[in-house]
Structure 1
Amino acid sequence: MSDQQLIRGTMILSAGIFMTKMLGLIYIFPFQAIVGLEGLALYTYGYTPYTVLLSLATLGVPLAVSKFVSKYNALGDYRTGQRLLKSGLVVMSATGFFAFMVLFLLAPLIAGHVLDPDSLDGNTVDDAVFTIRMVSVALLVVPVMAIIRGYFQGHQSMGPTALSQVVEQIVRIAFILVLTYLIIEVFNGDLGTAVGFATFGAFVGALGGLAVLLAYWYRRKRALDQQAAESAEDFQIPLPAMYKELFRYAIPISFVGLAIPLYQTVDLLTFNPAMLDIGYTLEQAEQYYAAFTQASHKLIMIPVSVATAMSLTILPTITNAYINEDNERLHRTITQAYQIIFFLSIPAAVGLAVLADPIYTTLFSAEDVDVGGYILTRYAPVAVAFSVFAVTASLLQGINRQMYAVIALSVGVLFKLLTNQLFIGWFDATGAVLSTGGGYVLAIAVNMYAIGKFAAYDYAVIWKRLLLITGFSAAMGATVAYIYAGLTRWLSIYVWTESVMILVITVGSGLVVYVYLSYRSGLAGMVLGERFPGLKKE
């Protein structure tokens, strides 16, 4: 497969991921308008443990299967990949059913821990149990999708994965918004019922994604069977040996994929109790929890998605250069990956922090801006850490040192676990943000050390570019803050139309400042010139 084809496939997959994440961001606005922050908190109580169980049930299967199938396809053995798919469907169905049973049965225990059974305000334990059990049903379907996606990716076909992800998200969101609106606004149902059915949307969406994958399978089945029948080799690998090799790929990948869910699980178990200990009511704690784990989190994932999608287009080159010991190309590509991440995520984080209140009012509601804007201002810088961790973990996979990413993740999560309640006690809700940010910084330090050691990479150039990007972002942020302060003398962030006007003027001004400084200094050309030659300063 040529580099051009590989990059094209990665671009298709990245586009699917980006579209899926953007849809996941957009729907949260009308959803919160229907259920409020209290309903958003209840939704998170169900989704966070589901995400962890899903990661454990799938164990990084899509990428691991992709590696396995592509390896044996390259050796001329197409039968082994088909054997893996057939047996894997049975295995993933079993692990999915096991994960479903675990989450379904543990729902009362989880709900009882995050909510006070004696509290009369906020969400009830029964509501949380119902929500967790409704979302658990999706575990019966999603692991099966994972192995089919991995199989297609192993054949260098990214379209099925990308399209199935988008369809899954569209079906899920449509189900969530229609059902919650009908239950609350039309039938005057209670919040717990509406949110429970909203989480059931994960199962309905999964059926939509599975239907797309099965359609691809039936359309290509004859060609795939013929390809297997004409295999030049048939290694007849025993199933135990096959799965041993598969899990050797999958386990490190699955742990890295658990990064954000693990951090959010710590918050799920400790955030509300810690806030109650320092005098907040349960209803207040849930408002801060929802703003932190859902509303603000969705917003900061925008720069993370863009940066990660762009950097993924050059990651295949990392593996190729490393295997062929082409150190010059390896180092050049690593530098480009770092530059893209910093160039996009740092100014985006600065903008989100400075304009948190009007952004929150515009996209969510003025009613909750005092909580949501407060959290977003403090959480926005962590977007940079999310971006850098994702890319450094991918770089380590490219140079076959993924276990260091697992070590880094373990260090970061341990820090989060040890400090979350302590920091909340010291800094209230801001403490959870500081704990997450601190854990990611430690994890990134481990990743960057491993890349420097095993890829023999010198960070001197990156530190210089980082200093330049930070300086330009600070200049942009100062300009935006000055204009914002002036505008708020005449315009109110609590009025939607005026908040939109503030954003249009300030975001436009900040963009002009950052682009101008980046272009005039030659930074934009150095970072993006290979993709956009017009940015190279003459």
Structure 2
Amino acid sequence: MRSGESATDHQAATKSQDAQAKMVTGSAWMTAGSITSRLLGALYVIPWVTWMGAYSTQANALFAKGYNIYSMFLTVATAGIPSAISKLVAHYNGLDQYGVSRRLYHSGMYVSIAMGVICSIVMFLAAGILAAGDPNVVPVIQSLAWAVLVIPPMSITRGFLQGYNWMAPSAMSQFIEQVFRVAYILAATFLVMKIQRGSWVVAVTQSTFAAFIGALGAIAILALAYFKHLREMNELVRNGERNPHVSTLELIFKIIYQAIPFIVIESGIIIFQLIDQYTFPPLMRMLGHYTTYQINAVYALFSFNANKLYMIIISFASGMAATAIPLLSEARAQNDTESIRKQIENALTLFYFVMIPASMGMAAVAQQIYTVFYRYDAAGVTVLEFAAFMSIPLGMYSVAAAMMQGISENKRMMSYLGIGVIVKFILQLPCMMLVRGLGPLLATGLAMMVINYLILHSFNMEFGLHFNDMAKSTNQILGFSLIMFVAVKAVMSLINLVVSPYGRYTAFFSLIPGVLVGMAVFIYLALRYRLADNLLGARMAALRTRLHIK
């Protein structure tokens, strides 16, 4: 009996290790793709702002307004289907029903094409209403309608491949999408602003149209990946279990049923940004005699300038979220409660390991990084420092909401998001009265904290999370991050004594040693005290030996 129990325990431990390995590997691919695409999406801002010249602040505000509306329409157009497909494909693959997964993909493609066409037409025709009285926003919204047309089928294919835990094609497509997009943005902006000496509104419109160009590049990469894996998928279909009882109509219904909560939940951050977009100007006018130019300038600081930078570190969380959904869905299909608990704990600890040092590191070098991207501005630096800390609850939402969806707690997650939106509305004015331009970020951060608490409490009630076991790693991460923050701040203060922090080039060359010191301190501490081993596996021992760390 003991030997039987031992064998069972060994199998369970092996399965748990495999799941953790998949989580780490998948997260690595998705995080790498997300980060590189976010970096490219931020780095183009440096020449873009320079070429916009005196119009850069207004251009940033216009870009942000158009993209917030586009993001909302894109979420509705994709209808949460990529994540729903990823979850359902993993579910049926976990049951060895690969033929159903294939039919699911085809059904999802029909739905996504229809949604893309409908949302694109609505977005194009309703641009005047959505612009809320700003005529400059109309052509920007219409230029983005083209991307809404083609991105849904592209996203479906990403979700399908993720359901097989093939994360590399998704990561590569994200990167290529951003390369095509950024290349078009820079070429079009240079042509309009520097060669033609044209309108800054036209330059912004062409920059937003680049989303369509980027999508075409991503589609090409995903098509290549699909045909590369086609033989393997066909083999799995042939050898898998057949389930003729699941009809195409039933699959479409399942997709829509699963997708509707995904629309709402994945729109969480976008909903909060839209609340800011439509409430910030009237509330600012209520609080003081501010001109439209001043309001747009402050709005650009947190909605575009800081957003472009802190979304880079939130992309860490997005990568882990994409990996968590299919793994949790597979465990849920097999009714493996222990595996679900361990994967939730792994995802949370990995999130802390990546997100906390990244956000604190960005706060430590906020002055230098903001100056490199946008030129020195004391208000902008303050907003970025604050936003870096607020990115932790936003990133936590991305991971925690994805895990709730992975275990099919969609209704509960939607209710938690609804509570968060109510909290956001209640806190928006008091927070703006307290800290003016930082108010929207503070209200969003506090509302997200409420949502995150509700989610973690729900996980604990259902699965009994071992918070005591997680405490050591969590405390180490927080402690090492604080040490890193102090070290980087000290280095930046010393450099500022001999080098001006206000110039773009001097800020860039000051930034490099700060980043290197921060990385070196955190990596050394994580390896020295075995934190990396616990989270990333035994391979960290070899790295520690190579680096001569005891």
Q: Would the TM-score normalized by the shorter structure come out above 0.5?
A: yes
Q: Is the 8 A contact 1:152 1:158 kept in 2?
A: yes
Matching of residues 291-310 of structure 1 within 5 Å: 291-309=301-319
Task: Work out whether 1:252 is the aligned partner of 2:269.
Answer: no
1:386 and 1:72 mapped to 2: Cα distance? 31
Q: RCO higher in 1 or 2 (8 Å CA, sep ≥ 6)?
A: 2
Q: Is the 8 A contact 1:7 1:316 kept in 2?
A: no
Task: Work out whether 1:19 is the aligned partner of 2:28.
Answer: no
Q: 2:172 aligns with which of 163, 175, 184?
A: 163
1:503 and 1:144 mapped to 2: Cα distance? 40
The residue that corresponds to 1:410 in the other structure is 418
User: Deviations along 1:313-359, whole A, 9 cap, x unmatched?
Assistant: 67766556666666665544433332332233223322322331111
The residue that corresponds to 2:64 in the other structure is 44
Cα distance change, pair 137–330 in 1 and its aligned pair in 2 (3 A): closer
The residue that corresponds to 1:420 in the other structure is 428
More off after superposition, 135-144 vs 482-491: 482-491
Cα distance change, pair 377–159 in 1 and its aligned pair in 2 (3 A): closer
- TM-score after normalising by structure 2: 0.84
The Cα of 1:303 is off from its aligned counterpart by: 2.8
Q: 1:497 aligns with which of 496, 500, 505?
A: 505
Q: 1:138 aligns with which of 143, 147, 161?
A: 147
The residue that corresponds to 2:50 in the other structure is 33
The residue that corresponds to 2:365 in the other structure is 355
- TM-score after normalising by structure 1: 0.86
The residue that corresponds to 1:399 in the other structure is 407
Q: Is the 8 A contact 1:59 1:253 kept in 2?
A: yes
Residue identity in the other structure for 2:45: I
User: Deviations along 1:34-68, whole A, 9 cap, x unmatched?
Assistant: 33222111111111111111111212211222333
The Cα of 1:406 is off from its aligned counterpart by: 2.5
Cα distance change, pair 242–345 in 1 and its aligned pair in 2 (3 A): closer
The residue that corresponds to 1:121 in the other structure is none
Q: 2:438 aligns with which of 404, 420, 430?
A: 430
Task: Work out whether 1:334 is the aligned partner of 2:344.
Answer: yes
The Cα of 1:361 is off from its aligned counterpart by: 0.9
Structure 2 unaligned residues grouped into runs of 5+ = 1-14
2:222 and 2:338 mapped to 1: Cα distance? 40
1:332 and 1:424 mapped to 2: Cα distance? 40
User: Deviations along 1:395-448, whole A, 9 cap, x unmatched?
Assistant: 333433343332332222222233224422332101111111111111110111
- Give me the CA root mean square deviation: 3.3
Secondary structure at the counterpart of residue 206 of structure 1: helix
More off after superposition, 331-340 vs 76-85: 76-85
Q: Is the 8 A contact 1:270 1:421 kept in 2?
A: no
% same residue: 29
1:152 and 1:111 mapped to 2: Cα distance? 37
User: Deviations along 1:268-317, whole A, 9 cap, x unmatched?
Assistant: 11123323332332222222222212221222223332355367667766
Cα distance change, pair 136–405 in 1 and its aligned pair in 2 (3 A): same
More off after superposition, 165-174 vs 325-334: 325-334
Q: 1:95 aligns with which of 87, 110, 115?
A: 115
The Cα of 1:472 is off from its aligned counterpart by: 3.6
Matching of residues 38-437 of structure 1 within 5 Å: 38-72=58-92, 80-112=100-132, 125-154=134-163, 157-216=166-225, 233=242, 235=244, 237-277=246-286, 278-309=288-319, 318=328, 330-366=340-376, 369-437=377-445
Cα distance change, pair 219–457 in 1 and its aligned pair in 2 (3 A): closer
Q: Is the 8 A contact 1:338 1:462 kept in 2?
A: no
Cα distance change, pair 158–509 in 1 and its aligned pair in 2 (3 A): closer
2:127 and 2:321 mapped to 1: Cα distance? 38
1:211 and 1:462 mapped to 2: Cα distance? 42
1:461 and 1:310 mapped to 2: Cα distance? 21
2:327 and 2:104 mapped to 1: Cα distance? 27
2:387 and 2:175 mapped to 1: Cα distance? 28
Q: Is the 8 A contact 2:306 2:383 kept in 1?
A: yes
Cα distance change, pair 223–180 in 1 and its aligned pair in 2 (3 A): same
Residue identity in the other structure for 2:109: L
Cα distance change, pair 269–535 in 1 and its aligned pair in 2 (3 A): farther
User: Deviations along 1:56-83, whole A, 9 cap, x unmatched?
Assistant: 1212211222333454566666554454
More off after superposition, 294-303 vs 225-234: 225-234
The Cα of 1:190 is off from its aligned counterpart by: 0.5
Cα distance change, pair 310–488 in 1 and its aligned pair in 2 (3 A): same
Residue identity in the other structure for 2:46: F
- How many residues align? The count is 525
Cα distance change, pair 488–104 in 1 and its aligned pair in 2 (3 A): same
Q: Is the 8 A contact 2:46 2:372 kept in 1?
A: no
Cα distance change, pair 365–228 in 1 and its aligned pair in 2 (3 A): same
Structure 1 unaligned residues grouped into runs of 5+ = 114-124
Residue identity in the other structure for 2:66: G
The residue that corresponds to 2:11 in the other structure is none
1:488 and 1:66 mapped to 2: Cα distance? 48
1:524 and 1:75 mapped to 2: Cα distance? 34
Q: Is the 8 A contact 2:488 2:518 kept in 1?
A: yes
Q: Is the 8 A contact 1:308 1:341 kept in 2?
A: no
1:468 and 1:157 mapped to 2: Cα distance? 32
Q: Is the 8 A contact 2:97 2:240 kept in 1?
A: yes
2:537 and 2:229 mapped to 1: Cα distance? 39
The Cα of 1:381 is off from its aligned counterpart by: 0.3
Secondary structure at the counterpart of residue 126 of structure 1: coil
Residue identity in the other structure for 1:138: A
The Cα of 1:529 is off from its aligned counterpart by: 4.9
1:249 and 1:152 mapped to 2: Cα distance? 18
Q: Is the 8 A contact 1:69 1:151 kept in 2?
A: yes
1:328 and 1:79 mapped to 2: Cα distance? 28
Q: Is the 8 A contact 2:324 2:402 kept in 1?
A: no
Cα distance change, pair 139–519 in 1 and its aligned pair in 2 (3 A): closer
Q: Is the 8 A contact 1:256 1:393 kept in 2?
A: yes
1:148 and 1:311 mapped to 2: Cα distance? 17
Residue identity in the other structure for 1:252: P
2:233 and 2:342 mapped to 1: Cα distance? 38
The Cα of 1:10 is off from its aligned counterpart by: 6.0
Residue identity in the other structure for 1:301: M
The Cα of 1:174 is off from its aligned counterpart by: 1.1
Q: Is the 8 A contact 2:80 2:266 kept in 1?
A: yes
The Cα of 1:205 is off from its aligned counterpart by: 1.8
Residue identity in the other structure for 1:235: P
The Cα of 1:449 is off from its aligned counterpart by: 0.5
Cα distance change, pair 531–290 in 1 and its aligned pair in 2 (3 A): farther
Q: Is the 8 A contact 1:524 1:535 kept in 2?
A: no
